Amino acid sequence: MSFGFGVCREPSIELEGENNMSISVPPSNMHQHLHNVLQSGEGADISFKVKGETFPAHRIILASRSSVFRAELFGSMSESTASCIEIEDMEPQIFKALLQFIYTDMFPPSDDHTDEGVELDGDIMAQHLIVAADRYALDRLRLICEETLAKKINADNVVTTLALAAQHNCQQLKELCLDYISSSKILDSLIETDVFESFLVSCPSIYKQLLKKVASNRRT
């Protein structure tokens, strides 16, 4: 059949505006398409070796999502011509989650995360992914992990969380930790602990910020 549209003019019988006929359009499935490509490894042009596990990937997708990968894979660094890059200071499970975020913009991943033996606790995963997100300049992933940890701040973990936040450019999480410490009644107990003291010694800039907040709270 060769009845081309736009070729014949139709007779002008009646002119109407928009009607209320509608067709339902499914939501975006791009994350699923890119996830399939990650899973299959088809067309992979780079691979990463992480503590014995190998992860095939696609340079252009990594570079489009991370300025650090972009510099590594398309810049003048030695990695730009390598076909395999070794990553020594990261757990395979963390690197896998990192790749899944890069390809899908989702964390935690909605799919095969549970069928692979031991699963990392969500908070531990978020802590490790903050380090990875900071390293590869994945700001949105870092914020998602900051949010996960912010919800769990309590007297037991606030110093650890504050240390992590201070080390890895988590401005919002750092502020929440400082607010929590300075506003809650735990400060007096915390001050006496070794972990708090060694943290303050190692991070004097935080010490000043905390002092300011406490002083400000006591004035109001």
| Residues between 30 and 69 that touch its own copies (CB under 8 A) | 30-31, 33-34, 36-37, 42-43, 45, 58-61, 63-65
Question: In angstroms, what is the minimal distance from the CB of 193 to its own copies?
Answer: 5
Distance CA(203)–CA(183), nearest Å, equals: 20
Name the DSSP letter for residue 26: P
Distances, alpha carbon 192 to alpha carbons 195, 196, 198, 199, in Å: 9, 8, 11, 12
79 counts as binding its own copies under rule CB under 8 A: no
- Mark residues 175-204: x for contact with its own copies by CB under 8 A, - for none: -x--xx-----x--xx--x-x--xx--xx-
Cβ–Cβ under 8 Å, residues 48 and 84: yes
Distances, alpha carbon 187 to alpha carbons 25, 157, 177, 200, in Å: 54, 13, 12, 13
Q: Please select the residue that binds its own copies; options are 2, 76, 83, 220, rule is CB under 8 A.
A: 2
List, edge to edge, every strand of the sheet that includes 46-50: 53-57, 46-50, 84-87
Which of these segments, 28-36, 82-90, 111-119, 207-215, binds its own copies (CB under 8 A)? Answer: 28-36
Under rule CB under 8 A, which residues in 84-103 are in contact with its own copies? none
Under rule CB under 8 A, which residues in 111-170 are in contact with its own copies? 124, 127, 140, 143-144, 146-147, 150-161, 163-164, 166-167
Question: In angstroms, what is the minimal distance from the CB of 218 to its own copies?
Answer: 21
Length of the chain: 220
Question: In angstroms, what is the minimal distance from the CB of 119 to its own copies?
Answer: 17
